[in-house]
Structure 1
Amino acid sequence: MSAGEYDGLRAAVTGGASGIGRATALELQARGARVAVLDLAPVDLPDGLVGIACDVTSDESVAAALAAVREELGGLDVLVNNAGISAVGTVEQNPSSEWTRVLDVNVVGIARVTAAALPLLRASDHAAVVNLCSIAAFNGLPLRALYSATKGAVYGLTLAMATDHVREGIRVNCVSPGTVDTPFVARMLERFDDPVAERAALDARQATGRMVSPEEIAHAIAYLGSPLAGSTTGTSLLVDGGVTTLRVRPV
């Protein structure tokens, strides 16, 4: 970490009240940024973080939230599109209504918030967007058909936005975590018949033998959003404990 590398910069983190989002907001704040947390329930936030109510599935809510960011922070330099929801099942187990709901949050939500943020980002000398992708975009994971589809779309969307806005001085990247030990995962585990066994399987899936921590993802996001990464755009940064590329022998 470079102390003060975010001095004078303003950041917004969607889904920033818990899990990866909260860890990211705290990391950016520690590096010198003023940070707005955009969340359905931006409550019980640590001192210094600006809580702003935001529903990423609503055009009106997103527009109001970005107007509040402009008023509270005076502008925006770094947008972290972290808000997302899970889905468990095969293609025949997720009804059409769930496909619509999850795609609206995980994919359209990123497009919706970024589009609303672009006028502020264009005014910045250090504009960056960091999207939350997943190893599910690159690996065939069991019972993750819908979730994987959304994260594959996030990866493609990241590349498209990076291309569209590079000449405006806006960098766009994504972080692709392995399974992260967050309340998000805890809620997903509740849907399994044996949550304890499923948690053990998730730990074992990483070559490191454990799930990734939210703080490890936050460090990766902070790198991609930093002015020190000025030549990094259109990149997916894997933070996955080796799932995607390592093939270790079973113990």
Structure 2
Amino acid sequence: MTTKKITIIGSGNLGLSIAEGLTSKSAIDKKNLLLTEKNADRIKILLNKNFNISEDNISSVNNSDIIIIAVKPKNAEEVLKEISDNIKPEKHILISCVAGLNSQQILRIINPNTPLFRIMPNTAIAVGESMTCISEFNTTEVQKKEIENIFSKLGKVIFINEELMSAATVLAGCGVAFAMRFIRAVTEAGVEMGVDAYNSQLIASQILKGGAELILSNDTHPEKEIDKVTTPGGITITALNEMEHYGFSAAIIKGLIAAFNKMNKK
């Protein structure tokens, strides 16, 4: 558990998910975590979850060691300009979750010597199952290890070069939505076959979780696991071939590349 004081600026879906993950996985004592928010309705939600809340970004920065920026991309530069004079490289570590805002853009606004981590988690961080990709700038090995230790409690962590951050955003950041769409499709098929919606969704969710765990635990290739299930002439290979006939793999690849291309046009 880190003893550092952490402020999360921006308490929307991602900011709240990070806060819930940090506290539920005992990565931080709740008294050392502060969330900033200015929307009255959102503040009520956060207070009901017993988080410490502030509407003042500057005082929150002054009283923290680690600052996590989790605002929407359109608001990021304004927030960074607001707190720039209060970020002290000798004291603070800045973590940005803002998609599309690179390190050069950030360090042009704040002190260019500030230790900076760009991270791309996903909302599964709330339950400690995020895939978090991290790039680092101006950091020491001690700082890098500290951030790695914090986010390793919240799922899997890899360090990547910044030029791969757009791809990481699509794969890791957006990926939960793609997994959810798969679960929804399997659930709907189950209902059509006569299984009730609750149990269909449970089955769909568990097969996705179980399949992923086979890959992660065995460090194996998906096709190797598929081969264990596809009996020659059986129903599994029939279903797989039908899915591919309708463009299953191609649709996934094209969707990911379309998101990647759109992101890089910004």
Q: Which TM-score applies when normalising by structure 1?
A: 0.45
Q: Which has the higher contact order (CA 8 A, sep 6+)?
A: 1
Richer in helix (by share): 2
Q: Greater CA radius of gyration, 1 or 2?
A: 2
